[in-house]
Amino acid sequence: MMIEVDRINSYYGDSHVLFDVSLAVRAGEVVALLGRNGAGKSTTLKTLAGVLHPRSGSIRFESKPIELLPSHRIAGLGLQLVPEERRIFSGLTVEENLELAALSAPRRLSLTDIFATFPRLRERRSSYGRSLSGGEQQMLAIARALIRRPRLMLLDEPFEGLAGTFVDSLLDVCRELVARGQTIVIVEQNVRAALSLAHRTYVLDKGQVVFEGSAEQLRASPDIMDRYLSIERRSS
């Protein structure tokens, strides 16, 4: 397993948010964390990335315990979080954002490789972050993680608020990355988009895992879809 999470409990102050959450991700697979707003999905990603430390439980990344490591040490091991807020530097150009992200990378990708994956960013390489559209900002946020050659990418709501054309473009990018062997954990409210990528899924509700199975098994579980995801199902 690339990452193994065993019964973690995470808190915001005195508020208990994750309750004995366990999950595992194999190298080269896409795992989707699904659930309604407030279910604990983003908190799980932040705990994996070291932004938040669990009060109990363990996290092993490529057999190394990481639950007590600071986030920069975890990033140095090859785990990269692309946060929902994107956090690009609005006063820097696309190229400067990428170069800054690569500064502390043990092994970086070249800008040529990044721009081959994101042709739109090549066109906007001299544009400031503040001038990018939401879809372009999301591309840049993913590209900043990718330039560091991550072993595992954590994507938090990558399609949120984006037009359909950008969602399709980012789905194509993710599929290309997976074809190259990239491991991804994705949190996403767009369940259909997430399931089109995912090999396996976990559904969270009120900080607990209530379902674990393949994307196909989740699609075939209308009770789970209706109860925890409120997704309108269509016949294929």
List per-residue pLDDT tens for the chain, 236 residues long: 999 999 999 999 999 999 999 999 999 999 999 999 999 999 999 999 999 999 999 999 999 999 999 999 999 999 999 999 999 999 999 999 999 999 989 889 999 999 999 999 999 999 999 999 999 999 999 999 999 999 999 999 999 989 889 999 999 999 999 999 999 999 999 999 999 999 999 999 999 999 999 999 999 999 999 999 975 443 33
Instruction: Report pTM.
Output: 0.94
Q: Given strand 208-214, what is the order of strands in its sheet? A: 79-82, 152-156, 183-187, 30-34, 200-205, 208-214
CATH topology of domain 1-78+152-162+181-231: Rossmann fold (3.40.50)
- Asked if 9 and 57 touch (Cβ cutoff 8 Å), the reply is yes
> The tokens 């983003």 sit on which residue?
42
**231 burial via Cβ count (<10 Å: 0-12, 13-18, 19+):** middle
Residue pointed to by tokens 């920069």: 72
Domain boundaries defined on the chain: 1-78+152-162+181-231, 86-150
3-state SS of the chain: helix, strand, coil percent to 5?
A: 40, 25, 35
C-alpha of 216 from chain center = 21
| 212 alpha carbon, distance to own chain's centre | 18
